[in-house]
Structure 1
Amino acid sequence: MADNSLKDFYIPTYILVPESEAEIVPDAPKCPVIVFINSKSGGQLGGDLFVTYCSLLNEHQVFDLGKEAPDKVLSRIYLNLEKLKLGGDDLAIKIQERLRIIVAGGDGTAGWLLGVVCDLKLSKPPPIATVPLGTGNNLPFAFGWGKKNPVTDRHSVESFLKKVREAKEMKIDNWHILMRMKAPKDGPCDPIAPLELPHSLHAFHRVSATDSLNMEGCHTFRGGFWNYFSLGMDAQVSYAFHSERKLHPDKFKNQLVNQSTYAKLGFAASIFHHSSLNIAQLAKVKIMKKSGQWRDLDIPHSIRSIICLNLPSFSGGLNPWGTPNSKKQRDRDLTPPFVDDGLLEVVGFRDAWHGLVLFAPNGHGTRLAQAHRIRFEFHKGATDHTYMRIDGEPWKQPLPVDDDTVVVEISHLGQVNMLATHDCKSKSIHDPSTPTHDAEDEDSNEEYDTVQDGEERRKFGAADTFRIPDEVDISHLS
């Protein structure tokens, strides 16, 4: 890409820095971008990528997330844009209409940016492109940006910018999660993460006494996610991996080494932890379609992990749901995994060996249901803790043993704009070119595909925003 093509992405300083001297710009950029980079992600790659972007663009449009939070950056820029527009600045109008965001980091970093854009309630939220710079890189892979950590030289960055200019906009669902339990008589019930609470859980913290979701005598937590929520052995393996990585960070600077270590932990758990409680022993699961009442979901006793999946990318690009064939669509009302249909795909796995089926053609996990809302009610005294994971970030969740009031509920919250390549894995329900089924799909788990009706219905409110604490040290987002 010739140097003059970089003008398509360049934003003048006076647009980005309030009170700067105005500049005369002959043509408005066709694809103005603001770039956020987690310089701590990907070993040295994040820092190298920051240097390259600064050399190609205006240094004022490239931000190191280790030094400045994205909500403050975007608030400042958008306030300045509004001020300039009121003054009759046509360039400001065009830049705001065409603005796109690039975020480079792991899934946690990308999710943070998505949450911030949701928070700001902008009249025209800019769509977001994600540069893979972590271990799983599920978000970038789902939208066609790849899953391998990037090359950071000038040519590679220019090629990525060109793809951003040519990318299509795609809406995806986002999801609210609420966890409520009676305050235990002994000990806390706050989430215990590997050495510290994962930052990408956004608002996953105890609500204040003035919050509408607060209930006297209970501990209530809330948060949100874009890719998946998982429960059981999958989250337990992830917790072990993150704990080891934070204790020995020097051993986890290579993406392939990280993925290999993760796989070994998964198979070790399958072999040596046969006593792990299965999901049916832990909790009752209820689901709700877009309209209707709660229904009990029958969970086979062999299932040790449940994944509630929003995007067709898990564990580095695998698709646990697959594409149900026409028979399953007709008999069980199952659909392909659209990212904007207001439904989560609920998939079960027996162990890590079961997960190997994902590497086979048309392989998938045990399809349990698709749901607009999901509720987990933990059984009294089943265990004193379990493991959960949101978008790659795990935690150990203590559970009260003296009552059965522990509830986790997931509900649809809204949508956010993403940038995607034209051949990406994610599919929109509004795209007429999306295939409706895969005739070759075969399900080896037919005996598990049953859902039973239930009568109980209980509604929780949804959070208006996702937020990340001001004191967060984002260097751990990877």
Structure 2
Amino acid sequence: MVAQPNPALALRSDSERQIRSTVDWSETAVYGEHIWFETNVSGDFCYVGEQNCMAKLLQKPLSRRKCAACKIIVHTPCIEQLEKINFRCKPSFRESGSRNVREPIVVRHHWVHRRRQEGKCRQCGKGFQQKFAFHSKEIVAISCSWCKQAYHSKVSCFMLQHIEEPCSLGAHAAVVVPPTWILRVRRPQNPMKSSKKKKRTSFKRKSSKKGAEEGRWKPFVIKPMPAPLMKPLLVFVNPRSGGNQGAKIIQSFMWYLNPRQVFDLSQGGPKEALELYRKVHNLRILACGGDGTVGWILSILDQLRLNPPPPVAILPLGTGNDLARTLNWGGGYTDEPLSKILSHVEDGNIVQLDRWNLHVEANPEANPEEKDETAADKLPLDVFNNYFSLGFDARVTLEFHESREANPEKFNSRFRNKMFYAGCDGVDLTPKIQDLKPQCLVFLNIPRYCAGTMPWGNPGEHHDFEPQRHDDGCIEVIGFTMTSLAALQVGGHGERLCQCRQVVLTTSKAIPMQVDGEPCKLAASCIHISLRNQANMVQKTKRRNSMPLLNDQQPVPERLRIRVSRISMRDYEALHYDKEKLKEASVPLGIIVVPGDSDLELCRTQIERLQEDFSPQPSALQRLLFQEGDGAKPKTLSSQKLSPKWCFLDSTTADRFYRIDRAQEHLNYVTEISQDELYVLDPELVITQTVGTSPAMPDLVDSSATPPGHHFAFPSSSSSPPCSPAPSTDAELCLLHKDDLIEAAKSGNFSKFQELHRAGRDLMVRDSSGRTVLHHAVISGSKDIVKYIIENAPSEILDATEEENGETSLHQAAALRHRTICHYIVEAGASLMKTDLQGDTPKHRAEKANDPDLAAYLENRQHYQMIQREDQETAV
């Protein structure tokens, strides 16, 4: 009889065993060790099988873990049982013993049985039958966790020769560090020899940098093989950036790459990894984090003096990401597949980035009586990549750091006489600056600042200056008044003062300053700004082929006629992994005609023009959608205008839909992301279902009375008599079905409003003029209902606009002088920059309502909100 394992003993031994969720770089690292992360995935069997599964033996549910490198799932107590079935993870290194030296240096496949598998079998070309039921035990596929090739789990597809054949490392082989390059070295056994070697290496450490590297006793060394076409990649992830994005991204990169080329920056920083890989030819770096993370890595590269320094690409997490925007990586990672990110890093162009020294000396001529004991005598950083600034923006950032509550209304200081001197390239700019009376002065290295604004503005407007570049050895000096600083978020710019190569600043009193978002109050000083060096960076570019191709690989036609459809955020979040259902849920906007080689920037202008003639209450003829003869069911055109926050969706190049950052639209051809229809995501789109409609089809179509060849869209109602004509506009429909939730908001009936919402009514409902329940609650002056909506509705409601005047609820609250309600809406995060159709912000509406105190409050919060975005990145 075979002895059964004791569940209690197994559980106890598992608790004593260390379950690793990081790569082990110590001399005791286990060959083929898994990297475990907790998972709540269900519906997949424990990989050890029923005979060894502790959950099966104990007859109760147990926690599960997933290996980031090979994606198998086991119960936590079953990890130890993997040794019984002798299943190891894909090996991330090799031993340096003599036996391995004689063997040919190739990477073998790492085959894993799968009960679920996407794609098609490499042998027969057929898809894999998916087994979603929990009770299904059938293995449908065998796939390699290195190259991702997959075969049907049957002899006719997966043949024996596949087991031992060399692995190509797959689509990203050019950036993968092969495990054959990473060797674990043996320590010397003789302690006397070891002692002598330590003394020799100690001497070398003092005499040369090379000796310092050799003197570090590390169990691992990198021995790269000659491979001129390879661009090996090191990935550094700041897990504190972008909420929980960083931790998830680490796991994904471990799946696509060798886990030993993926580093968590919270585990000691980038220096040790860069030293380890310093001899790798054509090395590239991917910095996953905010601009501060990129600056950290560039500073370490300066210290190590790698020659040539490896170029740095950016996966932008965090909030500001101005350097990432400058280099075309976008304003923040959303949901683009990491496989595409790796391709962009491999294909990106290497460009230079100017970096600037900041040398600070105390000002000996400063008045001792004006000395500020709270002021620092040095800046937080001595080099900057993005900008150096002093004045109002630094003051707000500093107060936010120190007290978590900025008070911009207390700052009214300008650069007065005898307080400040500025010299650029030997020219005294002090009089010019004093004439401007700025409250903020910015020395800018890149075009972007303060979460994507462009403070230098359009270079074509001023012929006195050269176009702004990040690699020209020049720095742009810009002055801001309070008005121009506030106008940045709506496309304004500051006063262009000069472009120069050297700056001398002398201050006679303590002034708030910040370096790439790091603030301080600096005592009276003399600050010298000079060019430090140029860093190599990777700039994201368009696709490899200079001539875009359609998805069937045919050259594009001279002009394209494309149908544009809009998708709501609710449907996108629920269905973006199901392409067909998401297409069914889309709402048509109309048709655009563009040149065949158009990028998405040009398509955006055409779509905006399509919206210019938009009518909020379209007639039946205006709701006509031309069908291309594809057999699709006719749909009604959207009755809502696009909000300013809409973005394009890629529906063709991945197994799901994903968003395209607006800052990257010029990098994408329309033929790359669209076939016969172009999809856009609108986070403010509200789907109001009529009676009898399904979630996938917001409107029904009555085509029985339409002329042949035409499809007219009419919302139908089950409560209407069969012979009565269906209402042809949203306004008529609203008369038939008054929304009692809106009525409760109008009347200020809080208990009724709360009762209706708890019964399932949608807080995002709108009336025929596009007003939300928040608009109506503001008009009625019901503070309780406003507060309830803010606490329970999606945040998109805060900036939702009605159609008649383009007003948000904050515009209306300011116009009605509802101060408490304004406070509620502002503190919830509503935009103070948003303008109505007259170009007014909420502050302007308060001024027109003759409430100067409310206008002053809104202006102060507007300034604070503008600076806060950048400060959030600094806190990363």
Deviation of the 1:28 alpha carbon: 7.0
Given that residues 172 and 343 in structure 2 are in contact (C-alpha distance below 8 angstroms), is that contact kept between their aligned partners in structure 1?
A: no
Give deviations 1:1-34, integer Å, cap 9, x for gaps.
9842122221023535563599998977633210
**How many Å separate the matches in 1 of 2:373 and 2:224?**
60
Residue 529 (structure 2) pairs with residue 410 (structure 1) = yes
Give deviations 1:70-96, integer Å, cap 9, x for gaps.
122211222xx3xxxxxxxxxxxxxx3
Consecutive unaligned residues in structure 1, runs of 5 or more: 82-95, 205-222, 248-264, 400-405, 427-474
Residue from 99, 102, 119 that aligns with 2:286: 102
Q: CA, structure 1 residues 110+26, in 2 after alignment: closer, same or farther (shift >3 Å)?
A: closer
Matches within 5 A, 1:257-406: 269=408, 272-273=409-410, 275-278=412-415, 282-288=419-425, 293-297=426-430, 298-299=432-433, 300-325=435-460, 328-329=462-463, 332=464, 334-351=465-482, 353-360=483-490, 363-379=492-508, 383=509, 385-399=510-524, 406=525
**How many Å separate the matches in 1 of 2:172 and 2:287?**
18
SS of residue matched to 1:63: strand
Identity of aligned residues (%): 29
Given that residues 292 and 874 in structure 2 are in contact (C-alpha distance below 8 angstroms), is that contact kept between their aligned partners in structure 1?
A: no
Alignment correspondent of 2:397? 238
Q: CA, structure 1 residues 189+11, in 2 after alignment: closer, same or farther (shift >3 Å)?
A: same
Amino acid at match of 2:478: V
Amino acid at match of 1:338: R
Give deviations 1:30-71, integer Å, cap 9, x for gaps.
332100111122221111111211222111101111112212
Residue from 32, 41, 46 that aligns with 2:232: 32
Given that residues 221 and 276 in structure 2 are in contact (C-alpha distance below 8 angstroms), is that contact kept between their aligned partners in structure 1?
A: no
Amino acid at match of 1:237: V
**How many Å separate the matches in 2 of 1:182 and 1:318?**
34
**How many Å separate the matches in 1 of 2:268 and 2:402?**
27
Aligned-CA RMSD value: 3.3
Q: CA, structure 1 residues 360+335, in 2 after alignment: closer, same or farther (shift >3 Å)?
A: farther
Amino acid at match of 1:159: K
**How many Å separate the matches in 1 of 2:417 and 2:255?**
55
Alignment correspondent of 1:439? none
Amino acid at match of 1:229: F
Normalised by the size of structure 2, how large is the TM-score? Answer: 0.36
Q: CA, structure 1 residues 26+350, in 2 after alignment: closer, same or farther (shift >3 Å)?
A: closer
Amino acid at match of 2:395: Q
**How many Å separate the matches in 1 of 2:424 and 2:374?**
25
**How many Å separate the matches in 1 of 2:393 and 2:416?**
11
**How many Å separate the matches in 2 of 1:395 and 1:341?**
29
Give deviations 1:203-233, integer Å, cap 9, x for gaps.
x3xxxxxxxxxxxxxxxxxx11111000000
Give deviations 1:241-262, integer Å, cap 9, x for gaps.
33355x9xxxxxxxxxxxxxxx
Given that residues 178 and 410 in structure 1 are in contact (C-alpha distance below 8 angstroms), is that contact kept between their aligned partners in structure 2?
A: yes
SS of residue matched to 1:66: helix
Amino acid at match of 2:337: S
How many residue pairs are counted as aligned between the two chains? Answer: 343
Given that residues 412 and 439 in structure 2 are in contact (C-alpha distance below 8 angstroms), is that contact kept between their aligned partners in structure 1?
A: no
Amino acid at match of 2:340: S
Give deviations 1:104-150, integer Å, cap 9, x for gaps.
11111110111111222222211001111122111111101111244
Q: CA, structure 1 residues 346+103, in 2 after alignment: closer, same or farther (shift >3 Å)?
A: same
Q: CA, structure 1 residues 21+225, in 2 after alignment: closer, same or farther (shift >3 Å)?
A: closer
Given that residues 232 and 388 in structure 1 are in contact (C-alpha distance below 8 angstroms), is that contact kept between their aligned partners in structure 2?
A: yes
Residue from 317, 330, 333 that aligns with 1:133: 317
Residue 233 (structure 2) pairs with residue 74 (structure 1) = no
**How many Å separate the matches in 2 of 1:393 and 1:308?**
14
Amino acid at match of 1:316: A
Alignment correspondent of 1:191? 376
**How many Å separate the matches in 2 of 1:39 and 1:17?**
28
Amino acid at match of 1:112: W
Normalised by the size of structure 1, how large is the TM-score? Answer: 0.64
Alignment correspondent of 1:161? 342
Given that residues 143 and 425 in structure 1 are in contact (C-alpha distance below 8 angstroms), is that contact kept between their aligned partners in structure 2?
A: no
Q: CA, structure 1 residues 279+413, in 2 after alignment: closer, same or farther (shift >3 Å)?
A: farther
SS of residue matched to 1:8: coil
**How many Å separate the matches in 1 of 2:223 and 2:422?**
59
Given that residues 183 and 221 in structure 2 are in contact (C-alpha distance below 8 angstroms), is that contact kept between their aligned partners in structure 1?
A: no
Deviation of the 1:102 alpha carbon: 0.3
SS of residue matched to 2:376: coil
Alignment correspondent of 1:419? 538
SS of residue matched to 2:360: strand
**How many Å separate the matches in 2 of 1:416 and 1:244?**
35
Q: CA, structure 1 residues 167+279, in 2 after alignment: closer, same or farther (shift >3 Å)?
A: farther
Alignment correspondent of 1:86? none
Given that residues 388 and 394 in structure 1 are in contact (C-alpha distance below 8 angstroms), is that contact kept between their aligned partners in structure 2?
A: yes
- Rg larger in structure: 2
Amino acid at match of 1:283: F
Residue 385 (structure 2) pairs with residue 226 (structure 1) = yes
Q: CA, structure 1 residues 376+42, in 2 after alignment: closer, same or farther (shift >3 Å)?
A: same
Amino acid at match of 1:422: T
Deviation of the 1:388 alpha carbon: 0.6
Residue from 168, 173, 191 that aligns with 1:7: 173
Amino acid at match of 2:376: P
Q: CA, structure 1 residues 376+182, in 2 after alignment: closer, same or farther (shift >3 Å)?
A: closer
Give deviations 1:255-284, integer Å, cap 9, x for gaps.
xxxxxxxxxx6xx62xx2353233666311
**How many Å separate the matches in 2 of 1:74 and 1:425?**
30
SS of residue matched to 1:74: helix
Bigger relative contact order, structure 1 or 2 (CA pairs below 8 A, ≥6 apart): 1
Amino acid at match of 1:275: N
**How many Å separate the matches in 1 of 2:181 and 2:874?**
31
Q: CA, structure 1 residues 49+29, in 2 after alignment: closer, same or farther (shift >3 Å)?
A: farther
**How many Å separate the matches in 2 of 1:178 and 1:24?**
40
Amino acid at match of 1:418: M
**How many Å separate the matches in 2 of 1:225 and 1:71?**
19
Amino acid at match of 2:517: G
Given that residues 230 and 389 in structure 1 are in contact (C-alpha distance below 8 angstroms), is that contact kept between their aligned partners in structure 2?
A: yes
Deviation of the 1:425 alpha carbon: 8.2
Q: CA, structure 1 residues 133+191, in 2 after alignment: closer, same or farther (shift >3 Å)?
A: farther
Consecutive unaligned residues in structure 2, runs of 5 or more: 1-118, 120-146, 149-169, 186-219, 543-661, 665-872
**How many Å separate the matches in 2 of 1:26 and 1:275?**
62
SS of residue matched to 1:98: coil
Residue from 286, 289, 295 that aligns with 1:111: 295
